Structure 1
Amino acid sequence: HMSSPIVTVDANARVLEGAKLLAGKGIYCVPVKKDGKFVGILTLDHIAKAVAEGKIDANVEEVMRPKIVLVEKDTKIREAIRLMRDENVRILVVTDRGEPVGVITDQKILTKLAPEQ
């Protein structure tokens, strides 16, 4: 249920580049990388706030949430939901023995759990 390969944005990219990436991929949030490491999450909410504050040319690192939560790929959905709730995040980076292999979002989990209409 995860998205793979991982779409990421560089911490040094401009907010506008992050906005174009999210819009182009039709996604709400994206992990932020710096020097090959995950350093945070950029969401549409962060972008909207940056635009409202006139920071469209700021670096992603200045407006992102500097928190990333990792889970192993064999983590149960119930545990992933608990982690999202406890850590107050909407996206988890999925790892395979510590190596990032994808991401899972609250939206994807809800879609999976919701009955077909």
Structure 2
Amino acid sequence: MAVKDFMTTEVISVTPDTKVAKATDLMREKGIHRLPVLDGDKLVGLVTEGTIAEASPSKATSLSVYEMNYLLNKTTVKAIMIKNVITVSQFASLEDAVYLMRENNVSVLPVVDNGQVEGIITDKDVFDAFLKIAGYGEPGIRLRLVMKNEIGVLERISDLVTENGFNVSSIIQLNNKEDKTTILEILIEGKLSAKEIKDKFTEAGFTVEDVEQTEATAN
């Protein structure tokens, strides 16, 4: 899974000379929390709600509302933006993007290739990607299988799925190195009930830890 599959390509940005007040209004209008700062086509910084809040006068100040608004209308994004911006390539894996976010304690990564901003990916995009990969919100029967991590297990499951004409819409595998077990969560589409599908897997020698009927959810 590549970053390009989940990033937002319509990037809303500002220039270094944009006034802080205007950047604030733009974020509020678009319902976003950060803005890449572009000088021409080049990424030169990032401005966020947090950086704006840090640059804004404290409520304990003696400045009047008029004076604070004046300062925000006078100050440019260039003066408060984050200059050392962590970026990621659109061809990087989604896992690489998550790692960069965690290691650098950031929730957004501009997507840059060959000096060009191709998009932006946020922690919300990552959450959406996980839900999509897990098949969340799709109707079907979700099985949780626990088995020994050994050669041929996936082949046995594949044969069982093929023999019964099951349509697998998603599958997630987690290997536990400590006890050498594998957990598989499989979402199966079809007309059989949860019990009928569970019985099929149990009869084939698999341990079904959990099974549930999932319903479609509105997007």
* Aligned counterpart for 1:32 among listed residues 32, 37, 45: 37
Counterpart residue type for residue 108 of structure 2? I
Q: Contact 2:41–2:117 (CA<8 Å) still a contact in 1?
A: no
* Alpha-carbon distance in 2 for matches of 1:60, 1:80: 26
* Alpha-carbon distance in 2 for matches of 1:28, 1:108: 14
Give the TM-score taking structure 1 as reference length: 0.84
Larger Rg: 2
* Aligned counterpart for 2:128 among listed residues 101, 111, 117: 111
Deviates more, 1:12-21 or 1:66-75: 66-75
Q: Which residue number corresponds to residue 52 of structure 1?
A: 57
Deviates more, 1:59-68 or 1:47-56: 47-56
Give the TM-score taking structure 2 as reference length: 0.48
Secondary structure in 1 matching 2:36: strand
Secondary structure in 2 matching 1:10: coil
Q: Which residue number corresponds to residue 91 of structure 1?
A: 108
* Aligned counterpart for 1:69 among listed residues 86, 93, 104: 86
How many residues are aligned here?
Answer: 117
Q: State the Cα distance separating 1:9 from its structure 2 match.
A: 0.7
Segments ≥4 residues shifted beyond 4 Å: 114-117
- Unaligned segments of structure 2, at least 5 residues: 1-5, 59-67, 138-216
State percent identity of aligned pairs: 28
CA RMSD of aligned residues (A): 2.1
Counterpart residue type for residue 79 of structure 2? E
Secondary structure in 1 matching 2:88: strand
1:6-17 to 2 correspondences below 5 Å: 6-17=11-22
Counterpart residue type for residue 68 of structure 1? V
Q: Which residue number corresponds to residue 9 of structure 2?
A: 4
Between 1 and 2, higher relative CO (CA 8 Å, sep ≥ 6) is seen in: 1
Q: State the Cα distance separating 1:96 from its structure 2 match.
A: 4.4
- Unaligned segments of structure 1, at least 5 residues: none
Counterpart residue type for residue 47 of structure 1? I
